[in-house]
Amino acid sequence: MKKFALIMAGGSGTRMKAEIPKQFIEIAGLPVIMHTILRFEQFDPEIQIILVLPENQFDLWAELCKKHNFTKIFKLAKGGETRFHSVKNGLKLIEEEGIVFIHDAVRPLVSVQTLRNCLDTAIRKGNALPVIPVIDSVRISDNDSSYPADRTKIFLVQTPQTFHTSQIISAYNSVTHSGFTDDATVLESTGVKINLVEGNRENLKITTREDLIIAEAFLKRQL
């Protein structure tokens, strides 16, 4: 079955006060986004990569590819006003039936096992959402009070959120608003059940400088 990886790279780096978008920050010898792409190619060398970038970052990406002699074959899609519109633009470049992994560019530590979990479940059940259980105690705030939550029922959502291409494309084309923050919720809004699969705890989303330090340590250990 044909496989696609839609790599979403819309970050600006403002929360970590970086001079360049966080997906382009270099750790362990390469920009974060290149580590992410290589992880998918490690999983399946034949996977088709679709990279979604803001148009004003195209030139910077080309410069980085030249600098690092990064010659991987990929399609490039223009990012939209919101993540919803960016994903929709990327999906337009898929012309065959298959499985699509929609993944944050700043999650370079997704494991091959997590990718297998997503693929196997998406093939059998139509979609897969990688999650990890909460290990800390959780409280819910309600105005001036708070109360404990049952953490056995709470999971942290990761990517890649994985789907049959026709199903997720249809969902994105059918919804009437763009306020969704993830892809599984878009599909769920059309009445489809979402299937949870086991993710990997080190598959963090790089958002802060502390995340960069942790991710680089993991990547150096794996090299």
Number of neighbouring beta carbons within 10 Å of residue 174: 10
Orientation angle between helical segments 165-174 and 83-91, nearest 10 degrees: 130
- pLDDT category at 18 given cuts 50, 70, 90 is low
Percent of the chain, pLDDT > 70? 96
Which of 208-211's residues contact partners 24+ apart within 8 Å by CB, and which partners? 208/15, 208/16, 209/16
Given a cut of 50, whether residue 97 has pLDDT beyond it is yes
Give the pLDDT mean for 74-101: 95
- pLDDT category at 223 given cuts 50, 70, 90 is low
Kindly report the CATH number assigned to the domain that includes residue 201: 3.90.550.10
Whether pTM > 0.85 for this model: the answer is yes
Give the model confidence (pLDDT) of 167-179 as tens digits: 999 999 999 888 8
Q: Which of 1, 212, 223 is nearest to 107 (CA)?
A: 212
Q: Which of 80, 88, 49 is nearest to 170 (CA)?
A: 88
Q: Which of 51, 15, 13 is nearest to 33 (CA)?
A: 51
Q: Which residue has the tokens 């966080």?
A: 22
Position 79 scores a pLDDT of: 94
- pLDDT category at 149 given cuts 50, 70, 90 is very high
Position 16 scores a pLDDT of: 56
Q: Going by C-beta distance under 8 Å and a sequence separation of 6 or more, which residues neighbour residue 138?
A: 148, 149, 151, 154
Position 144 scores a pLDDT of: 86
Given a cut of 80, whether residue 131 has pLDDT beyond it is yes
Domain count, the chain: 1
Indicate the range of 11-15, 42-46, 101-105, 186-190 predicted with least confidence.
11-15
The range of the structural domain enclosing residue 31 comes to 3-222
Give the pLDDT mean for 169-195: 94
H helices of 111-204, where?
112-125, 165-174, 183-188
Given a cut of 70, whether residue 12 has pLDDT beyond it is no
Position 13 scores a pLDDT of: 47
Q: Which of 158, 179, 9, 13 is nearest to 77 (CA)?
A: 9
The token duo for 151 is 């953490």
Burial call 133-148: b when 16+ CB within 10 Å, e when fewer: eeeeeeeeeeeeeeee
Q: Is 139 helix (H, G, I), strand (E, B) or coil?
A: strand
Spatial contact of 33 and 39, defined as CB atoms under 8 Å apart: no
Average pLDDT along the chain: 94
The token duo for 167 is 């199903």
Give the model confidence (pLDDT) of 38-54 as tens digits: 999 999 999 999 999 99
**E strand map for the chain:** 3-8, 26-27, 30-31, 48-53, 74-78, 99-104, 127-133, 139-142, 145-148, 155-157, 161-164, 196-198
Which residue type does 98 have? G
